[in-house]
Amino acid sequence: MKIAVSTDEHTHLVDILLEELKKRGHEIIYFGPEKGEEAQDWPVVTQKAVEKIKEAEVDEAIVMCWTGTGCSIAANKFPGIRAALCHDAETAKGARIWNHANVLALSLRATSEPLLKEILDQWFATPYSQDEWNTTQIKRIDDLDRK
């Protein structure tokens, strides 16, 4: 899978995430500062990552900022993007099943290395639900993009 990754600051979690994604066989397009560089604005790097989904250059995105809230808000401003801020594996699983989330938002502050791996395990292992009730809910969300 091809994944856009963005972050406003380069922390140890960023290195772990990039390494983990590569180990899992994903191709990565990275937006954000390199190690030792100054922080960048989270709306700007988030937009760059999400636009790659809209341009069909990547399948999904993982966006990060200090709390994860700002990048998830910014990502969700784009039609067709369903970003979910996930602080645990069960939330990541639910975001995939019921919300068909295509952007994973993470907190640089609150996500530990073991937790990151658990979240990624569920994110990548969980398919979108295709039952009639759920697909109706996703259609309703998609309709909101057109309002």
pTM for the whole thing?
0.96
CATH class of 2-144: alpha beta
Using DSSP's 3-state secondary structure scheme, residue 65 falls into: strand
- Single out the residue of 11, 145, 9, 10 nearest to residue 82, CA to CA: 145
pLDDT digit string, tens, across residues 90-140: 999 999 999 999 999 999 999 999 999 999 999 999 999 999 999 999 999
Taking only the tens place, the pLDDT of each residue in 28-83 is 999 999 999 999 999 999 999 999 999 999 999 999 999 999 999 999 999 999 99
Return the pLDDT at 127: 95
Q: Report how far apart the first and last C-alpha atoms of the chain are (Å, whole number).
A: 31
For residue 94, with 0-12 CB atoms within 10 Å meaning exposed, 13-18 middle and 19 or more buried, which class applies?
Answer: middle
Per-residue pLDDT at 144: 87
| Nearest-10 crossing angle of helices 113-125, 12-23 | 40
